[in-house]
């Protein structure tokens, strides 16, 4: 059936954007294009604090993640040539990551149909360096119109070809393993469940703040624009280029000192890098003295729908108890302990090689 709506006319406004506005617009437009091209198989996330990576493309129900730095090309010559100088210190090493060079022509409401998705290592090896105003930079010269002598031509992707590019990422099409058999314990739901969005939001804000405080510039905390699976927050360890995920559940307790948490089994997945965190809030919504940090591999045995007594703590959960003030350091230690920096051409955590 043909679409009865005609393609919209391009807006006639004249955009006078500042550089500070142009960059985020380019990032947003590429993020939308990637999310749409993934056709429900992936999600696009943004860092809470900018530490050099602009977008994270992740395969749903897995930790297979592609970090992307986006550079928007604003000025293009009449013959479609762009020249951009990127300070060396602004380009972060990304194992398995990409540099996206995109053009956003006036009136800056959509991407130009051709873009460059260049593996981080390839860009560093191929791009010449220059020094301008005492700043060492990469000088990127390319032809968005297509040219046989363009050294970057093998990395050109048409917007309509983004779906095929995503599918070519090693491991992207690998089937997600089914969940282990669910635990046999199935307990009734109690009043005051953690389904309240405000309670859930408070828990997420606390977790993000604690991670940023403990990890500092060594990590990036990332959140999906639209959450479609259990990964509430993704943590990118910049020193090792590894990823870990946290599924956050938050619950308040009253004088009964019993809480219930429920993990939606159909969307859940098990991964050595995924953890389930139960954040406990007092009636005044302040964080309780302890929380529960559970490896995702243990959840099928524990059960996806559980009622827990806090005082005394249900015995099966004792080994997961950690002081709330030690949560971030404990999580980062468990998630990234003993992981050494790796070859920039291959992320051994995800077996992510060059796509395309």
Q: Out of 3.40.1350, 1.20.1530, 3.90.550, 1.10.3470, which CATH number does the structure's domain 19-37+65-167 have?
A: 3.40.1350
Domain ranges of the chain: 19-37+65-167, 197-336
Residue 345 pLDDT > 50: no
Give the pLDDT confidence score for residue 106 in this predicted structure. Answer: 86
Task: Please indicate whether the domains covering 19-37+65-167 and 197-336 agree at the CATH topology level.
Answer: yes
Give the pLDDT confidence score for residue 180 in this predicted structure. Answer: 67
Residue 211 pLDDT > 80: yes
CATH no., domain 197-336: 3.40.1350
Model confidence pLDDT, tens digit, residues 66-90: 999 999 998 889 989 999 999 999 8
User: Residue by residue, what is the 3-state secondary structure of the chain?
Assistant: CCCCCCCCCCCCCCCCCCHHHHHHHHHHHHHHHHHHHCCCCEEEEEECCCCCCCEEEEECCCCCEEEEEEEEECCCCCCCEEEEEEEHHHCCCCCCCEEEEEECCCCCCCCCCEEEEEEHHHHHHHCCEEEECCEEEEEEEEECCCCCCCCCHHHEEEHHHHHHHHHCCCCCCCCCCCCCCCCCCCCCCCCCCCCCHHHHHHHHHHHHHHHHHHHHHHEEEEEECCCCCCCCEEEEECCCCEEEEEEEEEEECCCCCEEEEECCHHHCCCCCCEEEEEEEECCCCCECCEEEEEEHHHHHHHCCEEEEEECCECHHHHHHEEEHHHHHHHHHHHHHCCCCCCCCCCECCCCECCCC
Model confidence pLDDT, tens digit, residues 229-245: 999 999 999 999 999 99
Q: Which residue has the higher pLDDT, 184 or 301?
A: 301
């Amino acid at each position: 059936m043909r679409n009865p709506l005609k393609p919209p006319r391009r807006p006639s406004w004249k955009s006078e954007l500042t550089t500070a506005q142009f960059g985020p617009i380019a990032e947003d437009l590429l993020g939308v294009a990637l999310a749409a091209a993934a056709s429900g198989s992936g999600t696009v996330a943004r860092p809470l604090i900018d530490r050099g990576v602009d977008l994270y493309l992740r395969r749903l129900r897995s930790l297979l993640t592609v970090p992307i730095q986006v550079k928007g090309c604003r000025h293009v010559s009449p013959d479609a040539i762009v020249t951009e100088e990127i300070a060396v210190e602004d380009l972060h090493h990304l194992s398995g990551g990409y540099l996206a060079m995109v053009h956003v022509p006036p009136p800056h409401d959509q991407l130009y149909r051709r873009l460059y998705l260049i593996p981080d290592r390839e860009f560093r090896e191929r791009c010449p360096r220059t020094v301008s105003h005492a700043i060492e930079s990469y000088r990127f010269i390319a032809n968005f119109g297509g040219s046989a002598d363009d050294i970057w031509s093998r990395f050109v992707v048409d917007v309509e070809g983004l779906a095929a590019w995503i599918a070519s990422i090693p491991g992207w099409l690998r089937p997600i393993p089914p969940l282990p058999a669910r635990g046999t314990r199935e307990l009734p739901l109690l009043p005051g469940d953690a389904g309240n969005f405000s309670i859930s939001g408070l828990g997420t804000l606390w977790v993000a703040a604690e991670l940023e405080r403990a990890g500092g510039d060594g990590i990036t905390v990332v959140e999906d624009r639209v959450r479609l699976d259990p990964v509430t927050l993704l943590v990118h360890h910049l020193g090792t280029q590894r990823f870990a995920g946290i599924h956050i559940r938050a619950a308040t307790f009253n004088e009964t000192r019993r809480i219930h948490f429920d993990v939606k089994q159909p969307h859940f997945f098990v991964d050595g890098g995924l953890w389930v965190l139960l954040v406990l809030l007092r009636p005044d919504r302040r964080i309780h003295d302890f929380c529960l940090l559970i490896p995702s591999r243990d959840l099928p045995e524990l059960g996806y729908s559980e009622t827990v007594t806090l005082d005394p703590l249900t015995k099966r959960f004792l080994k997961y108890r950690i002081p709330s003030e030690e949560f971030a350091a404990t999580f980062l230690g468990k998630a990234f302990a003993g992981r050494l920096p790796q070859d920039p051409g291959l992320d051994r955590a995800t077996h992510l090689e060059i796509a395309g």
